[in-house]
Homo-oligomer: A and B are copies of this chain.
Amino acid sequence: MKAADVVRGVWEAMEARDWARARSLLSDDLVTDWPQTRERIRGGDNFIALNSAYPGDWHITVEETLGDGDRAAVRATIVNGAETFHASGFYEVRDGRIVRAVELFADPGTPPYDRSRWAERY
């Protein structure tokens, strides 16, 4: 199983609330960093526990994945009620399981200053 398929599998299993499937694609000693909040989640079990307890009726759309040897990246959209997060993740995979993850969650907003000379809104 290619690294990008492992990563896609985890995100799609989370969307399906198939926690056993998601867990099967994570190493026991997975280390996940969320640098925005400087949180580190140690272990596949804690990753599943935290994500399965995440509040709200959230839904994931995997926008794209890339694989490069034993590494992979994902871009996904997460809609949680009225909130939307633009997520990205960067991973290392070994023996079909993720061993290292860095995940980012970008919030929507308005342009912080006027740059309409160069950028249109869509």
Q: Which residues of A line the B interface, CB within 8 A?
A: 4, 33-42, 46-47, 49-50, 53, 55, 63-64, 66-68, 71-73, 75, 86, 88, 90, 102, 104-111, 113, 115, 117-122
Contacts and interface: CB of A to CB of B under 8 A. Distances in A.
Number of copies: 2
Nearest to A2: B68
A-side interface mostly:
strand
Contacts of A121: 37-40
Contacts of A71: 64, 66
Instruction: Name which of A35, A105, A119 has the most chain B CB atoms within 10 A of its CB.
Output: A119
A90 to B, nearest CB: 5
A49 to B, nearest CB: 5
